[in-house]
Structure 1
Amino acid sequence: AFQGTQLAQHPAWLIPKDHWIWADSAYPTHTWCVVPFKATKTTPLTRAQKTYNRYLSKVRVRVEHAFGALKGRFQSLRELRLQMRTMKDMKIAVHWVQCCIILHNMIIRFEERLGISTTAWAVREAGGEI
């Protein structure tokens, strides 16, 4: 499925030069796609590779917590994946997620001015910071 995406076919369109994305081990390694090291039957991971994987895992956990916080605040994001059938659906979904992120950040700033926080639960879940 990934090989059929715009990202796989035309990464330069979506990822600026000298930038990259983090992904899990299901994705292929590219200069623009950083994935964990994998051990094989004949080649175990080195200590440095295990350490790298542990740090990468911590980053991915933070990202998952951020997604969880957004889905908790905006319930419409929970079923969004099920609604994408066409390229038009995909574009609408991207704009929908962008709007939710913008609103989320606006809410955080508004709450900071008022000295309140409805996102404290999300901060605790994410280990202290989102």
Structure 2
Amino acid sequence: MRISQDPANLIPARHWVWADSAYPMEMWCVVPFKKPHGGHLTHRQNTYNRYLSKVRVRVEHAFATLKGHFQSLQELRLHMSKDNDLHIAAYWITACIILHNMIIHFEERLGKETTQWAIGEAEGWDDEGGDDGGGKQGDRTQGQHFRGYLMERLFEQHGLRM
């Protein structure tokens, strides 16, 4: 099953996937702004895209770290023929993440510096999210509206006034 066919079955409520611009802009899939044909992105949209790029780089680094610590993730080869197979892969990856977090916890107790990733970025999301600078409010999809909300939260948290 492709995630785009039934995202609600694979992605919990109030969660989303950061993706590149090849993916659709949906409530479950947040993508960067694309430059319109013959136009340009606003300063706000470019700033948002830079921050999103930084998030995606951190995620790629997290994947590399997990794969570096857990050889089993290097080539996780499971035949995905039914939903249960996907759950097995998710449990496998979750177990590695739990072990990784335990390692971080023990390193912290030894005084080594670590980074805590923010959880709950969607808290406070409702249908009254911020403006994403992309046309009239009524012309936007729910996904575009959600991206606008995330952009406003990002700017607010970093003290950016644009």
The alignment's TM-score, normalised by the length of structure 2, stands at: 0.60
1:73 corresponds to 2:69 = yes
1:15 corresponds to 2:12 = yes
8 Å Cα contact 1:15-1:32 kept in structure 2: no
TM superposition shift of 1:84 = 3.5
Say which structure, 1 or 2, has more relative contact order (CA 8 Å, 6+ apart).
2
Work out the number of aligned pairs and report it.
115
Q: Distance in 2 between matches of 1:25 and 1:63?
A: 16
Code of the aligned partner of 2:106: F
**Structure with greater proportional helix content:** 1
Code of the aligned partner of 1:38: K
Equivalent residue number for residue 78 of structure 2: 83
Unmatched 5+ residue regions in structure 1?
A: none
Q: Secondary structure at the residue paired with 1:9? A: coil
RMSD: 2.4
- Of all paired residues, the percent bearing the same amino acid is 57
1:45 corresponds to 2:41 = yes
Q: Provide, for residues 62-96 of structure 1, a one-character-per-residue CA deviation record: whole Å limited to 9, x for no partner.
A: 1111111111100110111x434423432221111
Equivalent residue number for residue 94 of structure 2: 98
Unmatched 5+ residue regions in structure 2?
A: 118-162
Equivalent residue number for residue 33 of structure 1: 29
